[in-house]
Chain A
Amino acid sequence: MKISFTINNNKVTLDVDPSMRLLDVIRNELHLTGTKEGCGEGECGACTVLVKGEPVNSCLTPIINVADRDVMTIEGLRETKEYRIIADAFADRGGSQCGFCTPGMILVTYALLKKNPHPSEEEIRFALSGNLCRCTGYQAIIDAVKVASEKGIKL
């Protein structure tokens, strides 16, 4: 079946099984490997992408669900100036260790700050709670979100 959607501001049309996981389309068809698979069951958030600006687990999303929608992966976000601010904040606080969770964490941070530019610590913890990190203990990531928020990015 032919399915069209926008990925990182580029329109694509693919002939794929409509039940195919968005994650597989992104990684195997479009060869965008910044989106990771940590569990395949909606539990870890490594596969996070933004669909219409909202974080979703691409491992649980059939490709048909994003037909005619906007999908953003880390490859798209990294071209923006907001990314630079968030990435610098992550670097400043040490928010990335092994890096496997990091693209997902950065996308979630972007989505959060866009909606809520000055979140409280609790709101940050809540927003990140679907994204597991086994390396950092979260503190550095939370501090990074605060730093990005303080930089006052008008997202």
Chain B
Amino acid sequence: MKKFDTSVTKVDNEEKMAGLAIFTGDIRMDNAYFAINVRSEKAHAKLKGIEVPKLPKNYYFISAKDIVKENVVNIIASDWPVFADKKVNYIGETIGLIIGPDKEKCIDLSKQVKGIYEDLEPVFDMRNSYVHKEFTKGDVSLFKDAAKVFSEEFTTGYQEQIYLEPQAMLMYLENDQIVVKASMQCPFYIHKAICRTLGVTEDKVRVIQPAVGGAFGGKEHYPSLMAAQLATAIVKIKKPIKMFFDRREDITYTTKRHPSKTEISAYMDKKDNIIGVKIHVGIDGGAYIGCSMVVLSRALIAATNTYTFPNVAISGDAYCTNKVPSAAFRGFGSPQSIFAMELFINHLADYLKVDRMALRMKYLVKTNDVTSTSGIFRDPIILEPLIEKAMEMSDYKRKVKLYSKPGSLRGIGLSMFLHGCGFTGSGESDLIKAKLRIKKDKNGIVTFYTSQVDFGQGNRTTLKRIVVDTLGIPEDHVIYGAPDTNETLSTGPTAASRTIIIVGGLAAKAAQHLKAIWKDGEEQEIVEPYVGPSYIKWDEATMQGDAYPGYAWGVNVVEVSVNPITYEATVEGCWSTYDVGHAIDERILLGQADGGLAQALGWAYLEKEVAEDGMFKQKALADYAIPTSMDLPPMETEIIDNPFKYGAFGAKGAGELTFVGGAPAFALALEQAIKHKVHNIPATPEYIMELMNHED
């Protein structure tokens, strides 16, 4: 076992292990009322009215008629209503809340509330686009002169979050403020959502973060919906209210990973050189756009993955369907398009009758190459050493030969991938505008605040360490607590792999400034604004320029065996290498590596979620299986140092990167094991059987 020389004890370790960490559901508030969702039973219908039973004293029904200012949840697109009004767009959309002191009574009453509907034609497939984007690089008119064209289509399925703590929110009134404690990722998103729906000023709302039991993107936007609903209720009822989902409600009605369909064509000249590629990515956004346009952007920008093609035509659509909206989930669109490209380039090699790895290496991206959005990969790219190291760790070259024999029922696959860190383009400087406050008291005790939530990634430990090491003072002289919007300035959401690269960099800068002006025995305070690297130029409308401030890179190797009787795949080994700039804390980083890959493998072959007539068939953990300790083999990970100029201590982002390569590595291994090409995931036994019984 590895020794972690670079790691420090995680600040929240002891409280979590001892069961002392207070999650939202652990907060004692005996007089709180319960809020139960009354949900639409229709996928698409006019809501002509709502029949509410006579309610006993202290029981309330809250719905669109109670909206104070705006019936909209403040998510990137302002199209998701707090409560359905006159129309429902998916099964499970909230038409109202029953609120009262006894939970069972509330549940009982909620069943008696009846929506009066007039059916409309629902749409469940990807045909109605509500966001379209496209861009090109080079000269795509050359495609028509191609001597050969090769095209394929790939699909990926839904994925459920299964953070282990379901959604939970507690709201109460205190000191003329609405106070929210919730399982969340972005305190200021919730804060804004409440201010917007109620039309109140910022000082009227306070959001405090308790311990959070996992998030992965699923608590980025959904809690804003819950908060807007509860806020509407609390101004009327003036009692503390809890909204806690059980696992079934969480699986059935909260946001999921976007299913996708990606079509790729490659155009070759007479000598089989690739003239260029054309890619279309379609994602199923569900009933409301929410953040789907940004997910689509990321999917498109990442679509050429780690390859440079001279000419590129990329387009994509997010489609409106009458299903639960899809939203943020680790990777944010790029796992879908990268899955497609990784398989496609291997299949293309087969079509051109050249060695798979040789073709990939021929088009491998290099430092200073032009990106698909006509920006530049400025920072040194060390993909080749990453690939070599991963091959060596996994004994790839020997195994790939060995398993190519007919009937091997075993295969090995290698994926390479990148992840852009931070918000797209100039989003960090123009939209987020993070500000970090750091202060010191007379005794030299330093306190700093960020709005970053630690839902397991260890950022409370890492960010603190950045400040401690920069100031060069003892650890117990630095105080860094969980976000509380009364104290904290917004350093932006805990999303987009931006925490370490952006907020970490900001924390280091703030600490350097404090150090420079440090005067013993004095109170001092600094507010440090984020200033992005000036070379980043991005035009969102045309999708041209530098899409991200920096990129992290990785290679995954997965080995798979297949049982020819049950058609079940088993993951036999996983080896990974990463370039995350510089790993500030190796143990925390390896935790991200293992956890991200485990989730990705779940998505690749175990986790199947399908909707039938707009209703999800999988409603509980009994029928939606995530990996258990028995499903995964030991995992080995190596990190290669490649310090990033603009990150704190050279660090880039890592949280999402580790999700991106698992599925394509798995699928490539599976292909070798069964000697059939894979185009769709999850690769369930049914799918594997279908492939094996089918002549290619």
Known: A33-B19, A38-B247. A99 touches B9 (CB 8 A): no
> Is B622 among interface residues, defined by CB-CB distance under 8 A?
yes
> Is B246 among interface residues, defined by CB-CB distance under 8 A?
yes
Q: How far is the CA of A35 from the CA of B21 in the complex (A)?
A: 11
Contact partners of B23 in chain A: CB under 8 A: 33, 36, 100
The one of A128, A134, A137, A139 in contact with B214, judged by C-beta atoms closer than 8 angstroms, is A134
Known: A38-B165, A73-B19, A90-B17. A135 touches B632 (CB 8 A): no
Known: A31-B28, A46-B164, A91-B10. A138 touches B598 (CB 8 A): yes
In the complex, the answer to whether A96 meets B626 with C-beta atoms within 8 Å is: no
Q: How far is the CA of A41 from the CA of B619 in the complex (A)?
A: 12
Q: How far is the CA of A132 from the CA of B20 in the complex (A)?
A: 20
Docked complex: A92-148 residues within 8 A CB-CB of B = 92-94, 96-103, 106, 121, 124-126, 128-143, 146-147
Contact partners of A39 in chain B: CB under 8 A: 246-247, 620-621
Known: A128-B629, A138-B629. A98 touches B213 (CB 8 A): yes
Docked complex: B7-59 residues within 8 A CB-CB of A = 7, 9-10, 12-23, 25-26, 28
In the complex, the answer to whether A87 meets B26 with C-beta atoms within 8 Å is: no
User: What 1/0 flags go to B205-219 for Cβ under 8 Å of A?
Assistant: 000000111111000
In the complex, the answer to whether B622 meets A99 with C-beta atoms within 8 Å is: no
> Is A17 among interface residues, defined by CB-CB distance under 8 A?
no
In the complex, the answer to whether B165 meets A97 with C-beta atoms within 8 Å is: no
In the complex, the answer to whether A91 meets B212 with C-beta atoms within 8 Å is: no
Size band of the interface chain B makes with A: 35 or more
Contact partners of A35 in chain B: CB under 8 A: 19
In the complex, the answer to whether B621 meets A74 with C-beta atoms within 8 Å is: no
Contact partners of B588 in chain A: CB under 8 A: 94
A119 CB to nearest B CB, Å: 12
- By DSSP majority rule, is chain A's interface helix, strand, loop, or mixed? loop
- Of B189-197, B388-396, B430-438, B455-463, the stretch lying at the interface with chain A is B455-463
Contact partners of B12 in chain A: CB under 8 A: 99
Nearest-CB residue, chain A, relative to B454 = A98
Contact partners of B630 in chain A: CB under 8 A: 125-126, 129
Contact partners of A41 in chain B: CB under 8 A: 247, 620-622
> Is B634 among interface residues, defined by CB-CB distance under 8 A?
yes
In the complex, the answer to whether B16 meets A99 with C-beta atoms within 8 Å is: yes
> Is A44 among interface residues, defined by CB-CB distance under 8 A?
yes
Q: How far is the CA of A41 from the CA of B594 in the complex (A)?
A: 27
> Is A21 among interface residues, defined by CB-CB distance under 8 A?
no
In the complex, the answer to whether A125 meets B629 with C-beta atoms within 8 Å is: yes
A-B contact count (CB 8 A): 180
Known: A33-B22, A46-B164. A132 touches B626 (CB 8 A): yes
Docked complex: B210-249 residues within 8 A CB-CB of A = 211-216, 246-247
- By DSSP majority rule, is chain B's interface helix, strand, loop, or mixed? loop
The one of B4, B10, B165 in contact with A100, judged by C-beta atoms closer than 8 angstroms, is B165
Docked complex: B582-602 residues within 8 A CB-CB of A = 587-588, 590-591, 594-599
Contact partners of A121 in chain B: CB under 8 A: 634
> Is B141 among interface residues, defined by CB-CB distance under 8 A?
no
B665 CB to nearest A CB, Å: 14
A51 CB to nearest B CB, Å: 17
> Is A68 among interface residues, defined by CB-CB distance under 8 A?
no
Q: How far is the CA of A44 from the CA of B22 in the complex (A)?
A: 19
Contact partners of A98 in chain B: CB under 8 A: 16, 163-165, 211-215, 455-456
Size band of the interface chain A makes with B: 35 or more
The one of B17, B587, B620 in contact with A99, judged by C-beta atoms closer than 8 angstroms, is B17
B554 CB to nearest A CB, Å: 15
> Is B635 among interface residues, defined by CB-CB distance under 8 A?
yes
Q: How far is the CA of A35 from the CA of B18 in the complex (A)?
A: 10
In the complex, the answer to whether A137 meets B628 with C-beta atoms within 8 Å is: no
In the complex, the answer to whether A106 meets B165 with C-beta atoms within 8 Å is: no
Known: A43-B621, A137-B595, A140-B594. A97 touches B17 (CB 8 A): no
Q: How far is the CA of A121 from the CA of B633 in the complex (A)?
A: 10
> Is B275 among interface residues, defined by CB-CB distance under 8 A?
no
Q: How far is the CA of A121 from the CA of B1 in the complex (A)?
A: 13
Q: How far is the CA of A121 from the CA of B635 in the complex (A)?
A: 13
Contact partners of B164 in chain A: CB under 8 A: 36, 38, 44, 46, 98, 100-101, 132-135
Q: How far is the CA of A36 from the CA of B591 in the complex (A)?
A: 22
Q: How far is the CA of A101 from the CA of B17 in the complex (A)?
A: 9
In the complex, the answer to whether B598 meets A137 with C-beta atoms within 8 Å is: yes
Known: A97-B458, A97-B591. A34 touches B18 (CB 8 A): yes
Contact partners of A34 in chain B: CB under 8 A: 18-20
Nearest-CB residue, chain B, relative to A103 = B19
Q: How far is the CA of A100 from the CA of B211 in the complex (A)?
A: 9
> Is B162 among interface residues, defined by CB-CB distance under 8 A?
yes
Known: A38-B164, A97-B457. A102 touches B629 (CB 8 A): no
Known: A96-B13, A98-B165. A132 touches B628 (CB 8 A): yes
User: What 1/0 flags go to B174-204 for Cβ under 8 Å of A?
Assistant: 0000000000000000000000000000000
Q: How far is the CA of A103 from the CA of B19 in the complex (A)?
A: 6
Nearest-CB residue, chain B, relative to A122 = B630
Contact partners of A33 in chain B: CB under 8 A: 19, 22-23, 25-26
> Is B493 among interface residues, defined by CB-CB distance under 8 A?
no
> Is B166 among interface residues, defined by CB-CB distance under 8 A?
yes
Nearest-CB residue, chain B, relative to A78 = B18
B523 CB to nearest A CB, Å: 35
Contact partners of A103 in chain B: CB under 8 A: 17-19
In the complex, the answer to whether B214 meets A142 with C-beta atoms within 8 Å is: no
Q: How far is the CA of A2 from the CA of B628 in the complex (A)?
A: 38
Nearest-CB residue, chain B, relative to A38 = B164
In the complex, the answer to whether B598 meets A74 with C-beta atoms within 8 Å is: no
Nearest-CB residue, chain A, relative to B7 = A94
Q: How far is the CA of A99 from the CA of B214 in the complex (A)?
A: 8
Nearest-CB residue, chain B, relative to A92 = B4
In the complex, the answer to whether A135 meets B628 with C-beta atoms within 8 Å is: no
Q: How far is the CA of A98 from the CA of B587 in the complex (A)?
A: 15
Contact partners of B17 in chain A: CB under 8 A: 78, 87, 90-91, 96, 99, 102-103, 106
Nearest-CB residue, chain B, relative to A101 = B164
Q: How far is the CA of A32 from the CA of B26 in the complex (A)?
A: 9
Q: How far is the CA of A138 from the CA of B591 in the complex (A)?
A: 9
Q: How far is the CA of A62 from the CA of B590 in the complex (A)?
A: 40
Contact partners of A134 in chain B: CB under 8 A: 161-164, 214, 216, 595, 599, 626
A111 CB to nearest B CB, Å: 15
20 A-B pairs with CB atoms under 8 Å apart are A39-B620, A40-B246, A41-B622, A43-B620, A43-B622, A87-B14, A90-B13, A91-B9, A97-B595, A98-B455, A100-B214, A121-B634, A132-B621, A133-B629, A134-B626, A136-B591, A137-B598, A137-B599, A138-B598, A138-B632
Query: Which residues of chain A have a CB within 8 Å of any CB of chain B?
Result: 27, 31-41, 43-44, 46, 73-75, 78, 83, 87, 90-94, 96-103, 106, 121, 124-126, 128-143, 146-147
Apart from A96-B10, A97-B591, A99-B211, list 11 A-B contacts with CB within 8 A. A34-B19, A38-B165, A38-B213, A87-B18, A90-B13, A94-B588, A98-B165, A99-B456, A135-B595, A137-B598, A142-B634
- Which 10 A-B residue pairings sit nearest by Cβ, starting from the closest? A34-B19, A99-B16, A100-B213, A98-B456, A137-B598, A97-B456, A137-B594, A43-B621, A74-B19, A33-B26
Query: Which residues of chain B have a CB within 8 Å of any CB of chain A?
Result: 1, 4, 7, 9-10, 12-23, 25-26, 28, 161-166, 211-216, 246-247, 455-458, 587-588, 590-591, 594-599, 620-622, 626-630, 632, 634-635
